[in-house]
């Protein structure tokens, strides 16, 4: 997606070989018009996959997922990272390791938001090692539902996330695939 790549080059900041900061338009400040275009692109790619619901992980994946759900006219569900007193009892949970933050967290899905008949599209802001996506997949499959595909806004292609997911048979569709990061260096996979 050229618009996204251009925005990453213009406003993204590569802090080092693994951290790409895009907080001015994706996950702190949010460019709604860009999110709308991202939603359109995901809709066009996944519209014939028989999707029944769209899942994301709080919080950075919410904006692109809302726009995708709006355009596909489908329900959206946010998987929770934070434990909550009101989210107790009938939940699916799995532990996910965040390499970015160097912590483990409990990913939680209320059982009332999924059924075995569901065909789920998972959308996330970044794909690096694939831990978050694999956690979401575990919750979906524990409920007896299926994963229709995984939509990623920015993929760090030099890390093993895509390979890990594709090796397990999941379709991964990324809008911007970064091939190299370094201090003030951002390069994309040639496609």
Binding residues for xanthine: 20, 27, 156
Tell me how crowded residue 66 is: count the other CB atoms within 10 A of its CB: 20
Q: Find the Cα–Cα–Cα–Cα dihedral 139, 31, 21, 74, rounded to 10°.
A: 10
Q: Binding site for 5-phospho-alpha-D-ribose 1-diphosphate: what residues are annotated?
A: 128-132
DSSP secondary structure letter of residue 144: T
- By CB neighbour count within 10 A (0-12 exposed, 13-18 middle, 19+ buried), where does 16 fall? exposed
User: Given the structure tokens 């919080």, which residue do they identify?
Assistant: 59
Give the relative orientation of helices 32-46 and 62-72 as an angle to the nearest 10 degrees: 50
What stretch of H or E contains 188? strand 185-188
DSSP secondary structure letter of residue 73: T
Q: Binding site: what residues are annotated?
A: 20, 27, 128-132, 156
């Amino acid at each position: 997606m050229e618009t996204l790549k251009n925005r990453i080059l213009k406003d993204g900041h590569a802090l080092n070989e693994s951290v790409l900061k895009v907080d001015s338009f994706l996950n702190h400040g949010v460019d709604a018009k860009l999110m709308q275009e991202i939603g359109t692109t995901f809709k066009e790619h996944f519209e014939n996959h028989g999707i029944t619901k769209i899942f994301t992980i709080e919080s950075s994946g919410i904006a692109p997922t809302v726009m995708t759900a709006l355009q596909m006219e489908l329900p959206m569900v946010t998987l929770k990272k934070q434990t909550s007193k009101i989210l107790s009892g009938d939940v699916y949970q799995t532990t996910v390791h965040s390499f970015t933050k160097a912590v483990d967290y409990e990913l939680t899905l209320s059982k009332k938001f999924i059924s075995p008949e569901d065909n789920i599209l998972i959308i996330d802001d970044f794909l690096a090692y694939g831990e978050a996506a694999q956690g979401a997949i575990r919750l979906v499959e524990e409920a007896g539902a299926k994963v229709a595909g995984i939509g990623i806004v920015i993929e760090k292609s030099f890390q093993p996330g895509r390979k890990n997911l594709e090796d397990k048979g999941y379709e991964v569709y990324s809008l911007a695939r970064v091939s190299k990061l370094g201090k003030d260096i951002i390069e994309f996979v040639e496609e």
